[in-house]
Structures are given as C-alpha cells and as structure tokens.
Amino acid sequence: MPFPDPLGPALKKPAAAYTSPDMFEQISLVWKLPDLRRKIFFVLAILVVFRLIAAIPVPGVDPSRLKDFLAGNQFFGLLNIFSGGVLENLSIVMLGVGPYITASIIMQLLTMIFPRLKEIYQEEGEAGRARFNQYSRLLTVPLALLQAYGLLIILIRQQILPPLDLFGYVTSMMIVTAGTLFLMWLGELISEKQIGNGISLLIFAGIVSRLPVDLRQALLTFDPSQLPAYLVFVAVSIIVIAGVVIITEGQRNIPVSYAKRIRGNRVFGGVETHLPLRVNQAGVIPIIFAISIILFPGLIGNFLATVPNDTVQAISRALINLLNSQWLYGTLYFLLVFVFTYFYTAVTFDPQAIATNIQKQGGFILGIRPGRPTAEFLSRVLNRITLFGALFLGAIAVLPLAVQAGFGISALTIGGTSLLIVVSVVLETLKQIQAQVVMHEYE
C-alpha cells in the first residue's frame, strides 16, 4: 500500500472547470465505457472460476464425518466460514489464500528487523514493491506445503480421509499447494485490472458465498421468542457498516505550502495543497492479519490432539480451548486488531520519508520547520488519529461477538469480521472504479 505522495501536488481547479459526475451518472458511465466494462466482466469471471474450483473436492472424502467434524469443532467451523465454505467438501483450494497472507505477515514483520527489506518496500517505488511481493510469493510455497501436511494429518486422524501412503501424501500436498498458488495467481490477475485488490476480493467472494447458507440456517432455526435478539444483531450490523464507512473515509488534511522557485523564465511552486492522513491508514489488513494469527493456535492444538503423550495432549487442549472462551477470544481478537493497525500503519507510512520529500520539493507545513520537526509533527498526528481508528476497529470487530454471547444466536457466527472485510473491500473497489470513471471524464 503506497503512502501518499507529496512530490507532485495537483493545482486546484475552479469548480466551473470540471465537475465530477454524480453517483447515477457514474453507474451509467461504467457500462458505457467499453474498457471499464470489460475489466468488470473479467473480474466477475475470475470470481466465478474461484467458486467453481472451490466445489472440487479432494478424492476419498467421507462427507458425513466431515460434516460432523465441522459442526463439533469451533476452530474448523470458524475457518470454514472465513474461507468461504471450501472446507465443507474439502476442496482442492481448502487452504484458500491463507498461506499467502501468512507469508505477507512474515515479510512485513521482517521489515522491522532488516532495514534493507524496509528500504526495498518503501524507497524503491513500484519496482521495490514488486520485488518484495515476489519474496512473499516464494515464501508462500513452503508455508502452503506445511499447512497442507498438518491439515491432512488432522483429517486422516479424524477418519475423514482414508490413510495415505507416501505417494498419497506427496500428491495431496502438491494438489492443495497448487490450489493456493492458483488462487494467488487469480488474485494478481484481478489486481492488474485495477478493479479492487485481488486477494481481498477473493476473500470477499468466499464470505458472500456463505450468505445464502447462513440465511437459510437462520430461517430454519428461527425462534419467535428470539426476535428481539435478531433485531439487536441486525442493528449492530448496521452500526458496524456505518462505522466502517466513517472510519475508512475519515482523514485529516495537513496543509502543505510550496515556495515559488524560478528556473529560467518559468515559475514553479507557489501553491497550497494538503497531505491526507487517514484515520484507518491500514485498511482491512489488520482484520485479515488478526484472523490469520488467532486461528493458528487452534490448528496446532488439533494437530497435537492425537499425540500419545499426556503433556502434549494437555497443551493441545489448552490451545483448542483458546477459541472456546468467548471472552478470551474477543479480548485477544481486539488486541491483535489494535496492534496490527499500528504495525501496518508504521510499515506503510514513514513520516521521515514524507518530510524529506516535502523538503526536497520546497514545501513546508505552516508553523512547522522542515526536516525532522515536520516528521515528528506528522508522527504525532498520525499516532493520535490511528489510536481512534485502532480502538474503533477493535470495538466493532468484537461487538457482534458480545451480542452473540449475550443473546445466544448461534446461526450468526462471525458477523463482525465478515462485515468489516466486506464493507472495506466494497469501498476500496468502488473507489478504484470511480477513479477510472473520473479519469475518463477528465480526459
């Protein structure tokens, strides 16, 4: 995620010179522009391919045992919902894009340890970010193989899959790993079209695909006596949606002035612009990171559950029980979202680099000296607004869990997480589509 670039501030144009089309005009323009229309149909086709692949199961699955296992295991039930139901029939893409997300988390953490990686990501432009992403792709392969092996061991011990020999293990691991890499490739194809982030849209498609199943389950288990609880949950969902929109769109504009410079017979600068500091600079990434980390102990616990050792089994039960306690799960979830919001903001937005770029271009913030004082000012403002954004994100992430625990609506499992991801991805996608429409109209 590139940080705001103050190198080339645009001159403010009079309102009469150009007026952005309203929402209805933009919707009509989307279908009138052949290039944009082709991009949207391409993205929709990729999402259809993703859902078709998610329906192809690994050979030898026992459907009845798998259904009972998912119903009786909170960790895998949560993982199944988050992955869009690919575990219900043990799809060949059962890992989803989880290994790639894990690899991205590891690479982001390594930027805090190795300054060279941070320099590649932040200071070498698009070429550096492409190189950084390539490292993440390479790291995805061993992580996918490791996760595939662990998941196969658990499913075989639960008698969901038949026992496998060495060739069967290698073949299954390669199929599942290839499925993850294929999804990663599909996500990059979507990102190249600049119609939203590909990985986020795949997660979005998986979550949305669960809506008919969840609605059907809610209707089948509907109890008229629980009508107030359902109404409260719907109200909380609306509050979450409104909150995500407000936080995502909220920003503080830092005024930046550029001094006049004369080069030959031309005068440069002498304009005023602003540097936007968003309340939620990290977007939806903290939620995805938090879910990926919080699901990991349960996976390890299930892997160790059948080891014939009392100490190992005690550790396994402790890890599995982390998700069984709603209060512990909610607290851990809140803290992870809070920490990752600050962490990802620090990785993607470097106040020192921004201050240096502003100074090189002859710019300054009114009342603040250029250089280090500007960086300290930006860091102080960013920490304050990120605090509010991190607290709000963490609160709305666990609020539906509190409602579920208070009213006992088991049909609505991860409404808060789902709404956070879905709304954020929709906003990001709509912004990219709007930017292309506005660019076409401007030209």
Chain centroid to CA 116: how far? 25
How many structural domains comprise the chain?
1
| Domain-embedded: residue 403 | yes
| Domain-embedded: residue 9 | no
| Domain-embedded: residue 1 | no
| Domain-embedded: residue 289 | yes
Spatial contact of 356 and 372, defined as CB atoms under 8 Å apart: no
| Domain-embedded: residue 15 | no
* Burial of 339 per CB tally in 10 Å (0-12, 13-18, 19+): middle
pLDDT (0 to 100) of residue 182: 92
What CATH number is given to the structural domain containing 63?
1.10.3370.10
Tell me which residue range forms the domain holding 201: 23-442
3-class DSSP state for residue 275? strand
Residues 6+ apart with CB under 8 A from 255: 272, 273, 274, 365, 366
The model's pLDDT over 155-194, given as tens digits with 9 standing for 90+, comes to: 787 777 788 788 888 888 898 899 889 999 998 899 888 8
Global pTM value = 0.73
What CA dihedral angle connects 395, 396, 400 and 402, to 10 degrees? 10
* pLDDT mean values, one per 10 residues, the chain (443 residues): 36 39 63 82 90 81 71 62 66 83 82 78 75 88 87 79 82 88 90 83 82 74 73 76 80 81 62 81 76 73 72 77 72 86 83 83 81 87 88 77 61 58 81 77 61
| Domain-embedded: residue 50 | yes
**Residue 327 and residue 210: Cα distance in Å, rounded?**
25
pLDDT (0 to 100) of residue 2: 38
Chain centroid to CA 259: how far? 40
| Domain-embedded: residue 16 | no
Residue with tokens 């879905």: 422
| Domain-embedded: residue 17 | no
The model's pLDDT over 18-69, given as tens digits with 9 standing for 90+, comes to: 444 555 666 677 777 788 888 888 989 999 998 888 888 777 776 677 777 7
